[in-house]
C-alpha cells in the first residue's frame, strides 16, 4: 500500500474544568453541553487508540496501521510500540489541578507508572491568563509537603503570566497547573500517569472531590529546578529535547512546502487551511485544529490556501 498523510478521529475527554471552546474555535463536534477539556488528537495508549478516518486505512487504529506498514510509517526498523507521542488540545475553561508526572527513574524506583515529559503551546489566552510552572527557588520537599497539608501550596509554585504564541517546556518531575482562559496544544510522551497534589477544593456535581496522590507526587517532583529554569520560546525550534522536537512554521496563502521522505512527522495546524498533494494518492486537506501524521516514506507537497501557522513534531 502507498502511504499517505493520516487523519484521526478525536477522542474527547470530559473534565470538570473543560468547556465548549473546541467547538467554537475549531468546529469540533462536541457532545452538546458537555465540559470537554481534552481532545486527544493522536494517541496509542491501552484504553485509547486513535482511529484513522481517511483513505484506505480508514477504520483501523494507529497501532494496527503501523503493524501493517511498519517502517514506511515510522521510518524505523527497530520501532517498538506504543507510538512515541500523545497529542492533545486542551480547553482550560477553569483551573486545572496542581500535579506532576514522574520521570523514568521515579517509575523504576516506585515500580509503577509511565514517565511523561510535555510542552504547552499557547494557542490562545485570556488577558492575564497564567500557568504554574515549577516551584519557587529553594522550596524543599518538607516545605512543600507542609504547604499541601496547610492548603496553601499555590504560594510555593512559580506563577507565570502567558501569552498567545508561547511554548513552555515541562520535563517529567515538574510540578505544574494550567490556569483558566487558556487554549493549549499539549505535546507529550505517551503516558496518562498523573499525580494530583491539590485540586483547589473543587467538587463535581455529586459533591465529590477528585482523587489526590500526594505521596506519589512528593516522590516524583524534582525539587532542584525552579520555574525560572524552564525555558519559553515563541519561534523556530520551540523544543529540542531527547524525547521530541517541535518546530513552529508560518506559511502565507499560496505557499508550498515540499515533504520529503526520511522521517515521520506529526503536524498540528493552529490556523489556516490547505491540502497535501502527491502523485500516487488522493489529496488530503486540512484546516485549523487538525492533526496529521506524515509517514516517513511519504513524498508530496503541502499547499496553503490561507495564511497558516503549524507545529511540526518529530522524535
Count other Cβ atoms within 10 Å, centred on residue 42: 25
Measure the CA–CA gap between 50 and 44, rounded to whole angstroms.
Answer: 6
Q: How far is CA 76 from CA 180, 190, 225, 260, 315, in A?
A: 40, 18, 34, 16, 11
Measure the CA–CA gap between 10 and 51, rounded to whole angstroms.
Answer: 8
Measure the CA–CA gap between 268 and 259, rounded to whole angstroms.
Answer: 15
Measure the CA–CA gap between 216 and 228, rounded to whole angstroms.
Answer: 24
Cβ atoms of residues 246 and 296 within 8 Å:
no
Measure the CA–CA gap between 21 and 27, rounded to whole angstroms.
Answer: 9
Q: How far is CA 86 from CA 89, 218, 291, in A?
A: 10, 25, 11
Strand partners, 30: none
Cβ atoms of residues 90 and 123 within 8 Å:
no
Residues sharing a CB contact under 8 Å with residue 39, sequence separation 6 or more, in sequence order: 10, 11, 12, 13, 22, 28, 88, 89, 91
* Catalytic machinery residues: 196
3-class DSSP state for residue 3? coil
Strand partners, 36: 14
Amino acid at each position: 500500500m502507498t502511504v499517505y498523510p493520516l487523519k484521526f478521529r478525536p477522542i474527547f475527554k470530559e473534565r470538570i474544568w473543560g468547556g465548549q471552546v473546541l467547538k467554537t474555535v475549531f468546529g469540533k463536534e462536541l457532545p452538546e453541553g458537555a465540559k470537554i477539556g481534552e481532545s486527544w488528537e493522536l494517541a496509542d495508549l491501552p484504553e485509547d487508540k486513535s482511529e484513522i478516518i481517511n483513505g484506505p486505512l480508514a477504520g483501523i487504529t494507529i497501532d494496527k496501521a503501523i503493524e501493517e506498514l511498519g517502517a514506511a510509517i515510522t521510518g524505523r526498523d527497530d520501532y517498538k510500540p506504543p507510538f512515541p507521542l500523545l497529542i492533545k488540545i486542551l480547553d482550560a475553561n477553569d483551573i486545572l489541578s496542581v500535579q506532576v508526572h514522574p520521570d523514568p527513574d521515579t517509575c523504576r524506583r516506585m515500580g509503577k507508572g509511565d514517565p511523561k515529559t510535555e510542552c504547552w503551546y499557547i494557542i490562545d489566552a485570556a488577558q492575564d491568563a497564567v500557568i504554574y510552572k515549577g516551584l519557587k527557588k529553594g522550596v524543599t520537599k518538607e516545605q512543600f509537603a507542609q504547604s499541601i497539608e496547610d492548603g496553601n501550596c499555590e504560594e510555593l509554585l512559580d506563577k507565570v503570566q502567558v501569552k498567545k504564541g508561547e511554548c513552555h517546556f515541562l520535563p517529567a518531575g515538574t510540578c505544574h497547573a494550567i490556569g483558566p482562559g487558556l487554549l493549549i496544544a499539549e505535546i507529550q510522551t505517551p503516558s496518562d500517569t498523573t499525580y494530583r497534589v491539590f485540586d483547589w477544593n473543587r467538587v463535581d456535581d455529586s459533591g465529590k472531590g477528585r482523587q489526590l496522590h500526594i505521596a506519589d507526587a512528593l516522590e516524583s517532583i524534582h525539587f532542584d529546578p525552579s520555574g525560572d529554569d524552564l525555558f519559553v520560546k515563541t519561534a523556530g525550534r520551540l523544543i529540542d529535547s531527547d524525547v521530541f522536537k517541535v518546530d513552529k512554521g508560518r506559511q502565507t496563502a499560496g505557499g508550498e512546502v515540499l515533504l520529503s521522505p526520511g522521517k515521520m512527522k506529526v503536524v498540528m495546524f493552529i490556523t489556516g487551511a490547505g491540502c497535501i498533494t502527491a502523485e500516487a494518492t488522493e489529496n488530503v486537506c486540512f484546516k485549523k485544529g487538525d492533526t496529521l501524521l506524515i509517514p516517513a516514506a511519504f513524498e508530496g507537497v503541502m499547499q496553503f490556501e490561507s495564511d497558516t501557522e503549524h507545529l511540526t513534531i518529530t522524535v
